A and B are shown apart, each in its own frame.
Chain A
Amino acid sequence: MAVSLADITTLSRLAESVLPVPEPFVDLLPSGGLVRGAMLATAGPVAQSLAMALVGPLTQMGSWCAVVGLEELGLLAASELGVELGRVLVVDEADPTRWPATVDALLDAVEVVLVRAPSQLSAATASRLVARARGRGSVLMQVGSSGSLWPQSPDFTISARSLAWDGIGFGHGHLRARHVEVEVVGRRVGGPARHGSIWLPGPDGAISRR
């Protein structure tokens, strides 16, 4: 029952400035994780899976994640990708006039907020939300951003393309594992785009390097 000081320290990772992500992403993201106060975007045809994969470890560690206006997000898939569903708050998008206040309130309360970039976000609103995230040390993640609907560019954008699915044939088998090529670009990357080859998910359901 007794735990060492190291174990007690893990309880307080919440106090650290970088939230953990699955291992294969560590080398791809600036600072090796989700920096508190950051605004990032997931894009491309694997955007939703990327978003869910990224928030898995931090929810396992006790942080909360809110999802706003992403009604189509598959929660069973989230759970399979490692998200602790007991720390997920699902909020309807409701009407657009309430959206900024809703996201604002959530940035205040949880560590990560997943949003779908709504159309016509004013510069003022966007800056206010980014400032709120920075001030509270929470992470604002646009999921599936298509084009630049946010007036400001995110700290980085992570996208992936699906290279191959294992397990499915021509009239037999079933989707079992997916091999994706991840790309991370953005001003915080500090250099050329980073690339990585990842199982998302792998044959055993886990996210791993390929």
Chain B
Amino acid sequence: MGDVRVRTLVVRCPDWSVYAAQPGPSDPLVVVRANRVVACSMAARSAGVEVGLRRREAQRRCPEVKVVGYDPGRDLRAFERVAACLDEITPGVEITSPGMLSFGTRGPSRYFGGDEPLGEKVLDAVRTALDGRWPAYVGIADGFFSALRASHQAQVDAREAMVVPVGCSDEFLASHPTSSLLEVLDVADLVDVWVRLGLSNLGLVSQLSTGDISARFGPTGLAAHRVARGFDLRPLDLQIPEEDLSVSMEFEDPLDRVDRGVFAAKALAEQLNSRLSELGVGCTRVQVYARTQGGEELSRQWRHEGTLSDVALAQRVRWQLDGWLSPSSGARSVSPAPSSGLVCLSLTPLEVQPDSGRQLGFWGGESRIDERVSRAIVRLQSQLGTQAVRLVQIRGARDPAQRVHQSPAEPDGRLGDSCPVDAPWPGQVPSPAPAVVFEEPLRVLVLDEAGREVGVSGRGELSAAPAVIERPGCARRALIGWAGPWLAQERWWDNQSQRRRVRFQVIDDRNEAMLLCVEGGLWWLEAAYQ
């Protein structure tokens, strides 16, 4: 499953949307998305506005607040300049979301002589790009989530950077609140439940066993649990294409306008996606490369929580080109500013995954249930009732009969209360398991050669060899083989409810096999090997 903790450096600029909206230094400003505040400026904060408030409430608390709509394009365009300033330090800068970027530290850390010097270098570069107008915090730790938390810790400690020593991320994460998971996973309900159960920090969460988490909270819980323990979360069916699947375009007449570049990018994106969809995959991480006539190059990696559509790919090219080709105000980029038009544009898929509906993505706590199946489940449950549609799991259990469980399917992949199916016998009859298990055992007669009913002693000894089986509504069949007894005494400690059952396998003269059970002197047909 990829239990990986890659040592990662995270740069986090808090409330980036506010910076991108470019308020004056003392303007109170809030960025609003779906009527809720998602970011606010210092001035707004000091007036009592917080992230999460409804717009009306924010305006009530701070009447002169400026309200700006959420615009990820604007945010990413602005952030591209920050990312660009780190190109000298490492080629693998990955923009996770506006205001947050990360990269693996292995190479750069070695080059600059350690994590601390690397952090310093990064802060220097970022400060230059921001012209000192906005704070940035650096965190270095094992794994993206730990590094992110480290950047938060730095802010809390009024420092600019925090390095968590190698191997200490578990300890470091333990005291962080469970709600911190919400920054990277869309698991509000789950966090709510965990907090109410008393799991107030990540240390307590990580102490639960994965078996318990999986059984009780399903795939969503498992994902959150992994992140809480500091593991990198990648879509479980991530593939890194070995073959070169990149697509590129060369322009005889260098493109000197961003929108021409974007037009070309859209065509490239369509080409790439149709190639990938022939293979049944979509791209989750892409490298966009551009080169000018003068030889300047810009390469940037983008990750997406689902697969990148044509539009999404073209958008990222736009943001990248915007940040690079357009004259920027204020911030200076370290990358050589282009001196001439674009002559080459290429898209390279770096990570792909099967493109069939919702997958477990880093940003979504969604399950792996195919979207079509999910919709069908919802539809059927509304018509037939929740219990009528069930998913199956095999759970680890001492008792093989308890292993197969059915649970009502929840559309988000969580499972309702499960119950064991299938095998009423407590795992004593060896495999193979019977293909048909009757919901209600059927009364049968088992006779010996003389036509008398075969009796069974308490220890499973037969009074005579079984020779004939009579099923109601069926012809008599001769028995040509039998095996057993398998004794199963349930609840032996309780005289009232104790049940003593003895089981036998039999085959008839057509070589059809059945599982019989004797209880209280009566024979029952429990299952058939059809």
Contact = CB atoms under 8 A, between A and B. Distances in A.
Interface of A: 1-5, 7-9, 11-15, 45-49, 52, 62, 64, 71-80, 85-86, 88-92, 94, 98, 101-102, 105-106, 108-110, 144, 161-165, 167-176, 178, 201, 205
Interface residues of B, number: 66
B403 A89 contact: no
Contacts of B457: none
Given A79-B394, A105-B380, A201-B432, 9 more contacts: A11-B280, A12-B354, A49-B529, A72-B439, A74-B433, A74-B527, A79-B404, A85-B404, A178-B432
Contacts of A92: 384, 387-389
Contact of A174 (B242, B377, B430, B434): B430
Interface of B: 237, 239-243, 278-281, 352, 354, 356, 370, 372-373, 375-377, 379-380, 383-384, 387-394, 400-401, 403-404, 406, 409, 421-423, 429-439, 462, 465, 481-484, 505, 507, 510-513, 527, 529-530
Contacts of B239: 3, 7-8, 11
B274 to A, nearest CB: 13
A9 to B, nearest CB: 6
Contacts of B404: 75-76, 79, 85
B interface majority secondary structure: mixed
Given A45-B512, A174-B505, A168 B388 contact: no
A192 B295 CA distance: 70
A104 to B, nearest CB: 10
A165 B510 CA distance: 10
Nearest to B480: A170
Given A48-B435, A74-B422, A175-B513, A8 B377 contact: no
A41 to B, nearest CB: 15
B483 A168 contact: yes
A171 B422 CA distance: 26
A109 B384 contact: no
A interface majority secondary structure: mixed
Contact of B240 (A3, A110, A171, A178): A3
A164 B511 contact: yes
Nearest to B240: A2
B434 A90 contact: no
Contact of B383 (A1, A7, A64, A101): A101
B356 A62 contact: yes
Given A12-B280, A64-B370, A173-B483, A106 B393 contact: no
B422 A76 contact: yes
A7 to B, nearest CB: 7
A72 B529 CA distance: 12
Contact of B384 (A47, A77, A102): A102
Contact of B465 (A76, A77, A108, A171): A171
A79 B391 CA distance: 14
21 contacts: A5-B242, A11-B354, A12-B280, A12-B281, A14-B356, A45-B512, A52-B435, A76-B433, A77-B435, A85-B393, A89-B373, A90-B389, A94-B384, A98-B384, A102-B380, A109-B373, A163-B511, A165-B513, A171-B465, A178-B432, A178-B529
B406 A12 contact: no
The 9 closest A-B pairs by CB, nearest first: A12-B280, A109-B376, A162-B511, A76-B433, A48-B435, A77-B433, A92-B388, A85-B392, A2-B242
Contacts of A172: 483
Nearest to B388: A92
Given A11-B281, A89-B389, A162-B510, A74 B377 contact: no
Contacts of B510: 45, 161-162
Nearest to B437: A74
Nearest to A174: B483
Contact of B530 (A45, A91, A110, A163): A45
A170 B482 CA distance: 5
Contact of A75 (B409, B421, B513): B421
A53 B14 CA distance: 55
Contacts of A165: 481, 507, 511, 513
Nearest to A53: B435
B167 to A, nearest CB: 23
A39 B152 CA distance: 58
